Amino acid sequence: MKFVHSISDHGIEVSFVNSDFIHAKLLAALPHEAEARSGIGLASIPDGLDPGNNQKNMLKKVF
């Protein structure tokens, strides 16, 4: 994230894309005001698992 912030500080628009699981953790860790001011777009893509599934089980993700 430090690299992304340094790029956006130079006026370049940045979108940071994560899986749904990581995106939720990232949003929970950031204050909402900081996200709005940062100039960095945050987006998520589906990780293929339902929210109730164990996201840390790599075998479920592969098979």
Across 36-51, average pLDDT: 76
Residue 13, CA distances (Å) to 23, 36, 46, 56 in order: 19, 13, 23, 31
The answer, yes or no, to whether residue 63 has pLDDT greater than 70, is no
Across 23-52, average pLDDT: 76
The structural domains of the chain, with segments of one domain joined by +, span: 2-47+55-62
The answer, yes or no, to whether residue 50 has pLDDT greater than 60, is yes
44 in Cβ contact with 28 (< 8 Å): no
Helix, strand, coil abundance in the chain, percent, nearest 5? 50, 20, 35
Higher pLDDT, 35 or 40: 40
Higher pLDDT, 60 or 1: 1
Residue 48, CA distances (Å) to 35, 39, 61 in order: 26, 28, 7
